[in-house]
Structure 1
Amino acid sequence: MKPLLSYLIFITLAVTSQCVFAKQSTTPHRVVVSGGSITEIIYALDEQQRIIGVDSTSVFPAQAKEKPQIGYVRRISAEGVLSLNPDLVIGEADTGPKKVVEQLKQTGINLVIFDENDNLGGIENKIKKIANLLNVDQKGDALAQSLQVDRDALSYILQQTTIKPRVLFVLSVRNSQPIVAGAGTSADELINAAGGINVAANAINNWKPLSTEAALAINPDVIITMGRHGDDPLVKLEKLAHFKFSNAVKNGQVHSFDGSYLLGMGPRTPQAVVELAHTFHPSAQLPQGYQYRFAPSANNVTAQLSEY
């Protein structure tokens, strides 16, 4: 009995190992994405032919908007996802609602939701994780390494100055009230990384409305805002009572950045932070030979541009 038992155990383990190996070695070909930075990374890996559906935050590159839609990242549709018959669904941490995510899990679909919050320091790791899911690890390593030139350029700028401008980050304006970045936001992290001081960080946490009185009191030197859908937020902010007497408006230091470029925490974000730092410190020099690879936001930047 013992030899027979040993043989059966061996066969069982062998079959199990083959099943596990087959599962790990399977390359997904029908990928649905919930999260703009994930879509951007897959395009940067040159694996976009696998994407069969995206959420509405997947706006870069422009071709991504032509893919079938599954809804907004926080409000995706289970029916929309399942109707596409994906063999892999990848979502950012804020993919929701939770009820829909649970519904997708119960179907047994291959679902991967990143559980960590996006941050500037974690972009390379996110790239490698996505490349691993697609079984293109070498491409992931190469893309992650390509961002080092931006990391080095940022350090080069910051080494040239000790001045830290007082910066206010305005996400949007709702009912004539600016929504600004407080402590604990991605914008707060990027302001600090680019050598600025977030003037709202001591007063508020997260994204909050800013009163006229509070805006007058903090009087920012620089205002960064998001440009969207052809709007001109610079004019709107300059006319608001909150800012029209501020140092930023008086000195022409109101700058608009594309939201997915700066806050997306995708492959373009390290370059965007270089641009942000150069906006804060315009007299600083970029490293010799450094070129912006993607379309910059600021009016005073001239660059060679590329798109995936």
Structure 2
Amino acid sequence: MKLLRPALLSLLCAAGIAQAAPPARVVGLGGAVTEIVYALDAGQTLVGADSSSIYPASAARLPKVGYYRSFSVEGIASLKPDLVLASDQSGPPQALEQVRKLGSKVVTLPSEPTLEALDQRILGTAAALDVPERGRALVDKLHAELREIKPVTAPVRVLMVSSHTGKMQAVGSDTAGNAMLRLAGATNVLGNQTGFKPFSAEAAAALKPDVIVTTTMSVGASGSAAAFLAQPGINATPAARNKRIVVMDDLLLLGFGPRLPEALRLLQTGLAMPQTAAR
């Protein structure tokens, strides 16, 4: 497998990863970034993470520094990290610069939901942690597993919905959710729109999805999968009438991290089931 060495070299040079000793105190900003550290068997270096870092269980127990898009500089400073691994969506930018000025090395990693960017996230994290061979092994393993996963053959129209606050948003193109559906071989009924879009009950009914895919947090906001499907608009879809809903852990479904093969297998299993999929 080609490991995109020119792109990785450019990434690492821009990040300035020349260091005398492996980092001993690391903070992760972004759930997928933190998860990669654990997947590289380097979790013992983590002294803190942002609030989206909830997997594995030990990540959830780490001291938290706020949400990665609006993290606390003071929170990071109190942990005295020698390395901060950050999704390139972390910020604001001036906050990252403050962290650098306080003496911590900051390495930003690409967040795009593509296999190329995932390779770079893993290899860049491994290089920053001074375990490059583990990074190469993890990328090789991930790609080997992905080659064994075949897209679903039967056409299936999917509406992916996020509803953490009670206001439903549908997942369009240029998102991790859309990338997941594409890799699984499903059709995103909102694929002609970009990003997360609020939508009406009438719009949900008109889209006529065969299956609704959502997250555990979204279902939790409604109380149950049955209550989620009973919402106006959703309840008028073929998916709701046939109780075809796939509910997956938020970070697993949308993190586009090292568990990508597991996420795709679970998603495909759910898409193939005629009744409610297991969480």
Q: CA RMSD in A?
A: 2.3
Residue 224 of structure 1, CA deviation: 0.2
| 1:181 and 2:181 correspond | no
Q: How does 1:258-273 map to 2 (within 5 A)?
A: 258-273=249-264
Tell whether the 8 Å contact from 1:233 to 1:256 is kept in structure 2 after alignment: no
Question: What is the TM-score with the length of structure 2 in the denominator?
Answer: 0.85
For 1:248, the equivalent position in structure 2 comes to: 239
**SS of residue matched to 1:223:** strand
**Corresponding residue for 1:205?**
194
Give the Cα–Cα distance (whole angstroms) in 1 for the partners of residues 145 and 21 of structure 2: 34
Q: Give a deviation string over 1:40-95, Cα, whole Å, max 9, x none.
A: 11111111111111111110001112111111111111111111111111100111
Q: 1:4-15 counterparts in 2 under 5 A?
A: none
Within 2, Cα distance between the matches of 1:52 and 1:27? Answer: 15
Q: 1:45 to 1:298 in 2, by over 3 A?
A: farther
Could you list the runs of 5+ residues in structure 2 that have no partner in the other structure?
A: 1-16
Q: State the Cα distance separating 1:171 from its structure 2 match.
A: 1.3
CA distance in 2 between counterparts of 1:270 and 1:165 reads 20
Q: Following TM superposition, by how much is the alpha carbon of 1:125 offset from its aligned partner in structure 2, in angstroms?
A: 2.8
Q: CA deviation at 1:261?
A: 0.8
Alpha-carbon distance in 1 for matches of 2:208, 2:116: 30
Return the TM-score normalized by structure 1: 0.78
Q: Is the 8 A contact 1:167 1:197 kept in 2?
A: yes
Q: Deviations over 1:168-215 (max 9, x none)?
A: 00011544x31110122111111111111111122x321111101111
Given that residues 110 and 120 in structure 2 are in contact (C-alpha distance below 8 angstroms), is that contact kept between their aligned partners in structure 1? no
Q: Which residue of structure 2 aligns with residue 278 of structure 1?
A: 269
Task: Supply the AA of the counterpart residue of 2:256.
Answer: M
SS at match of 1:244: helix
Correspondence for 2:226 among 206, 224, 235: 235
- 3-state DSSP of counterpart to 1:57: coil
Residue ranges of structure 1 left out of the alignment (5+ in a row): 1-21, 284-296, 301-308
Query: Larger C-alpha radius of gyration, 1 or 2?
Result: 1
1:113 CA displacement: 1.5
| 1:1-308 equivalence runs, <5 A | 23-155=18-150, 157-158=151-152, 161=153, 163-172=154-163, 174-175=165-166, 177-202=167-192, 204-228=193-217, 231=220, 232-282=223-273, 298-299=277-278
Contact 1:123 1:266 in 2 (8 A): yes
The aligned amino acid for 1:178 is: M
In the TM superposition, residue 279 of structure 1 has moved relative to its aligned partner by 2.5
2: distance between equivalents of 1:31 and 1:173? 30
Aligned residue pairs total 260
Could you tell me whether the CA contact under 8 Å between 2:29 and 2:90 is conserved in 1? Answer: yes
Q: Which moved more, 1:72-81 or 1:269-278?
A: 269-278
Amino acid at match of 1:206: G
Q: What whole-Å deviation, never above 9, does each CA across 1:236-284 have from its counterpart, x for those lacking one?
A: 321111111211012221110101111111111222112212322459x
Q: Cα distance, 1:109 vs. partner?
A: 2.4
Following TM superposition, by how much is the alpha carbon of 1:31 offset from its aligned partner in structure 2, in angstroms? 0.6
Cα distance in 1 for residues equivalent to 2:57 and 2:197? 30
Q: For 2:18 and 2:144, how far apart are their aligned partners in 1?
A: 36
State how far apart, in whole Å, the 2-side matches of 1:264 and 1:131 are. 18
Q: Give the 3-state SS of the residue equivalent to 1:184 in structure 2.
A: coil
